[in-house]
């Protein structure tokens, strides 16, 4: 187990904030410059200075005023569904009935706005197309729409190519000439800003007054912004944290959309205890299941439901999709494990390409029976289990192609690897995109063996140690005086933890009780030197090492949970990594001297 402790080196003098010293250090390590960045007032949101946003809002506003038909084209992930739902809720709230939406189907349409959608929009009498969470690379589709006489407004947050599509407006923070400072905003956040400006345009035109329609409260849509932002795993910079924290507050107060309320109820988490982690691990999988195995239209329907009865019906559909997703996932995992052990020489061979038996060289597997919508989940699970870069390939939409989901470990950029492979094998690697840790690609099936061989060569070259053991980030060892409900409650509930603003994780030495396996999770208790013990669960444990009833002492990397959003909740630990300790002397003084540089004093919690 490799632990990398976040340090304060090169951060300058320790800030003298009126906060508990542990909280001060945690925030300081996460780039917080002042306690003002811990105030999540909507007044602190960045102003809407996107390039083209004035033009976009005017086009949308005039289409509303003249009664033109509008179609929103979204995406089949949670960000795209949330963005689509936000737009539809906005149009519903301003009583504009000539707006509809279309979500591409993963298996039939592929990703994003395409020419067939432009043709269908023209056939249906649409005048304006608004893309959400896609469109910045849809050059051909935009050109087709313009040829058909349609207006197109693109709202996206992905990196554009060298040239932008020739749409009437392209609102994307990542276009080079866009001054908006939060480049990390999700697609749902972009449409939130665009429609906020649209509301302002309609107000200036006197449209609400003339129609006798109350202006929509844009902050009421931040439940959807929180959902899409956290689910899309974009970095939670200050602007994103403001929107996410307000949206979570709506959920906690039972002021969220009916569909979100019902999904929260199905999750089994009391609304008052809801956190950003519940979006990631409960709400997001239920919504994503629709897009993965059927049609994300069901997800948008749930998020736009206007009454509890409809929301309950739509959420139940998503719940059943998620059950089916789990069944497919289990079947695929069994096949994947078999393929990993398959000898070389088959197009569906496992990892034993150029160096037989070396799983440390990375995993590339293909099966025509794999479900493309589930392959990303399988790749992530195999990455967690084997601690190596993984590519899982399923049959593509076009004949003789394969589509892959890629997941990587720290220190190995999957996007850079695919870029290199595209250069080496341009006839094999047809398309690719993504990020360092997660990416996707399309390639020719007959080229999979050579692709596997070259991929493993790249993995070996970059991970020269012969092992891709992943480093686990930790904030250090926590004094025992902080294992109290008041501190843990503050830690768990007062911040919107997520990508780029990570949930505090600590490491320390504990006594360990005998372990049991429950629903594929390892359960046990971890005890401090003063005798206090806490229930712990280890979700992605190595089945080759655990359970091990001979172990009584461990070093654990963990984060906190608490049963309720109160100072009387019961503490438990979520273990991220675990290793046995056999040196008796290691228990003496190591945990309580405080790796955070904090002496053994009962500080309590302030702020």
Q: Name the residue ranges covered by the structural domains of the chain.
A: 20-34+472-587, 46-321, 341-469
Please report which confidence band the pLDDT of residue 397 belongs to, taking 50, 70 and 90 as the band edges. Answer: confident
Cβ contacts of 322-329, under 8 Å, gap ≥ 24: 322/285, 322/286, 322/289, 324/289, 324/293, 325/285, 325/288, 325/289, 325/292, 325/293, 325/374, 328/293, 328/371, 328/374, 329/374, 329/377, 329/378
pLDDT interval class at 411 (50, 70, 90): confident
How would you write 243-312 as a 3-class SS string? HHHHHHHHHHCCCCCHHHHHHHHHHCCCHHHCCHHHHHHHHHHHHHHHHHHCCCHHHHHHHCCCCHHHHH
Distances (CA, A) of 71 to 65, 66, 254: 15, 15, 30
Task: Pick the more confident residue, 432 or 199.
Answer: 199
**CB-count burial class (<10 Å; 0-12, 13-18, 19+) for 444:** middle
Structure tokens, 368: 């025509």
Give pLDDT, residue 597: 44
Listed residue (439, 444, 417) closest to 429, CA to CA: 444
Indicate if the pLDDT at residue 472 is higher than 60.
Answer: yes
Pairing of strands 521-527, 516-518: antiparallel
Segment 240-292, tens digit of pLDDT: 999 999 999 999 999 999 999 999 999 999 999 999 999 999 999 999 999 98
Closest C-alpha among 580, 395, 565 to residue 489: 565
Residue 449 has pLDDT above 90, yes or no: yes
User: pLDDT tens, 474-513?
Assistant: 999 999 999 999 999 999 999 999 999 999 999 999 999 9
Instruction: Average the pLDDT over 297-319 and give the result.
Output: 96
Once rounded to an integer, what is the mean pLDDT over residues 308-337?
95
* Token pair belonging to 417: 């690897």
User: How many whole angstroms separate alpha carbon 269 and alpha carbon 144?
Assistant: 47
Euclidean distance between the first and final Cα of the chain, in Å? 35
**What is the CATH number that goes with domain 20-34+472-587?**
2.40.50.460
Residues 6 or more apart in contact with residue 9 via CB below 8 angstroms: none
Task: Please report which confidence band the pLDDT of residue 471 belongs to, taking 50, 70 and 90 as the band edges.
Answer: confident
Report which DSSP code applies to 587.
G
Q: How far is CA 88 from CA 72, 185, 207, 316, 530, in A?
A: 8, 20, 19, 21, 56
Instruction: Report the pLDDT value the prediction gives residue 463, as an integer from 0 to 100.
Output: 67
Task: Flag whether pLDDT at 150 surpasses 60.
Answer: yes
- pLDDT per position as a tens digit, 417-439: 999 999 999 999 998 877 777 88
Q: Assess contact for 575 and 557: CB atoms under 8 A.
A: yes
Q: How confident is the model at residue 464 (pLDDT cuts 50, 70, 90)?
A: low
CATH number for the domain formed by residue range(s) 341-469: 3.10.310.30
Smallest Cα–Cα separation from 160: which of 172, 145, 144, 168? 172
Instruction: Extract the tokens encoding 213.
Output: 């329609």
Average pLDDT estimate for 448-462: 92
Over pLDDT 90: what percentage of the chain?
75
DSSP state of 167: -
Q: Residue 151 forms beta bridges with which residues?
A: 128
Measure the CA–CA gap between 362 and 332, rounded to whole angstroms: 18
Find the DSSP H helices in 346-473: 375-386, 414-424, 448-462
Percent of residues, the chain, with pLDDT higher than 70? 92
Tokens of 68: 């033109």
pLDDT at 519: 81
Task: Work out the average pLDDT over 193-214.
Answer: 97
The mean of the pLDDT values for the chain is 89
Helix (H) or strand (E) holding 119: helix 115-123
- Euclidean distance between CA atoms 111 and 106, whole angstroms: 7
pLDDT reported for residue 213: 94
Q: Tokens 């649409």 correspond to what residue?
A: 126
In the prediction, which pLDDT does 583 show? 61
Instruction: Answer whether 152's CB lies under 8 Å from 170's CB.
Output: no
Longest dimension (CA), the chain: 79
Select from 497, 452, 469 the least CA-distant residue to 410. 469
SS3 356: coil
- pLDDT number for residue 343: 53
Residue 11: the pLDDT is 77
Q: Are 417 and 391 contacting, i.e. CB atoms less than 8 angstroms apart?
A: no
Which distant-in-sequence residues (6+ apart) come within 8 Å of 338 by Cβ? Answer: none
Q: Closest by alpha carbon to 296, among 192, 379, 233, 373?
A: 373
Judge contact between 296 and 74, C-beta under 8 A. Answer: yes
| pLDDT, tens digit, 9 for 90 and up, residues 165-178 | 999 999 999 999 99
Fold topology of 46-321: inorganic pyrophosphatase (n-terminal core) (3.90.1640)
CA distance 521 to 550: 19
Q: Does residue 466 come out as left (phi exceeding 0), alpha (psi in the -120 to 50 range) or beta? A: left
User: Please, what sign has the CA dihedral across residues 599, 600, 606, 607?
Assistant: positive
DSSP state of 111: S
Q: What is the pLDDT of residue 12?
A: 78
Q: What is the pLDDT of residue 71?
A: 98
63-90 confidence digits (pLDDT tens): 999 999 999 999 989 999 999 999 999 9
Res 585: pLDDT: 47
**Confidence category of residue 156, pLDDT binned at 50, 70, 90:** very high
């Amino acid at each position: 187990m490799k632990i990398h402790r976040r340090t304060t080196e090169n951060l300058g003098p320790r800030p003298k904030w009126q906060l508990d010293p542990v909280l001060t250090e945690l925030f300081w390590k996460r780039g917080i410059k002042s306690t003002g960045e811990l105030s999540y007032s909507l007044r602190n949101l960045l102003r809407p200075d996107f390039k083209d946003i004035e033009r976009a809002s005017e086009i949308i506003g005039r289409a509303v005023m003249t009664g033109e038909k509008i179609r929103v084209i979204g995406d089949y992930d949670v960000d795209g569904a949330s963005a689509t739902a936000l737009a539809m809720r906005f149009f519903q709230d301003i009583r504009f009935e000539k707006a509809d939406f279309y979500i591409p189907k993963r298996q039939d349409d592929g990703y994003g706005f395409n020419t067939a959608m432009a043709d269908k929009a023209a056939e249906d009498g649409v005048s304006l197309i608004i893309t959400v969470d896609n469109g910045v690379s849809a050059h051909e589709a935009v050109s087709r729409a313009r040829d058909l006489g349609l207006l197109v407004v693109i709202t996206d947050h992905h990196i554009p190519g060298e040239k932008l599509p020739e749409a009437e407006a392209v609102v994307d923070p990542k276009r080079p000439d866009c001054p908006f400072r939060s480049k990390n905003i999700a697609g749902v956040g972009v449409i939130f800003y665009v429609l906020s400006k649209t509301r302002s345009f309609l107000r200036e035109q006197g449209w609400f007054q003339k129609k006798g329609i109350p202006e929509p409260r844009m902050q009421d849509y931040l439940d959807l912004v929180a959902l899409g932002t956290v689910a899309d795993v974009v970095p939670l910079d200050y602007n994103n944290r403001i929107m996410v924290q307000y949206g979570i507050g709506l959920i906690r107060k039972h002021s969220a959309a009916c569909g979100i309320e019902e999904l929260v109820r199905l999750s089994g988490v009391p609304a008052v205890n809801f956190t950003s982690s519940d979006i990631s691990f409960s709400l997001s999988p239920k919504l994503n299941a629709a897009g993965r195995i059927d049609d994300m239209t069901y997800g948008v329907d749930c998020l736009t439901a206007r009454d509890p009865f409809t929301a309950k019906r739509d959420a139940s559909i998503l719940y059943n999709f998620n059950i089916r997703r789990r069944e497919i996932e289990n079947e695929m995992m069994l096949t994947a494990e078999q393929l990993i052990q398959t000898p070389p020489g088959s197009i569906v061979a496992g990892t034993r390409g150029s160096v037989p038996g070396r799983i440390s060289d990375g995993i590339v597997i293909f099966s025509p029976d794999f479900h493309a919508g589930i392959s990303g989940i399988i790749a992530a699970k195999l990455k967690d289990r084997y601690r190596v870069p993984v590519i899982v390939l399923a049959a593509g939409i076009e004949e003789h192609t394969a589509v892959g989901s890629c997941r990587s470990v720290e220190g190995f950029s999957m996007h850079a690897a695919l870029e290199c492979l595209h250069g080496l094998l341009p006839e094999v690697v047809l398309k690719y995109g993504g990020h360092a840790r997660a990416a996707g690609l399309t390639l020719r099936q007959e080229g999979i063996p050579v692709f596997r061989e070259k991929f493993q060569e790249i993995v070996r070259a970059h991970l020269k140690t012969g092992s891709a053991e992943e480093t686990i980030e930790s904030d250090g060892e926590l004094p025992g005086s902080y294992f109290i409900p008041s501190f843990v409650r503050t830690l768990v509930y007062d911040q919107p933890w997520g990508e780029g603003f990570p949930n505090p994780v600590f490491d320390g030495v504990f006594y360990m009780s005998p372990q049991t396996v429950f629903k594929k999770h390892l359960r046990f208790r971890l005890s401090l030197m003063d005798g206090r013990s806490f229930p712990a669960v280890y979700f992605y444990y190595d089945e080759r090492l655990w359970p091990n009833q001979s172990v009584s002492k461990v070093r654990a990397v963990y984060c906190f949970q608490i049963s309720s959003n109160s100072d009387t909740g019961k503490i438990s630990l979520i273990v991220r990594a675990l290793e046995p300790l056999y040196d008796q002397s290691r228990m003496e003084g190591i945990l309580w001297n405080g790796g955070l540089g904090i002496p053994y004093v009962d500080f309590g919690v302030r702020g």
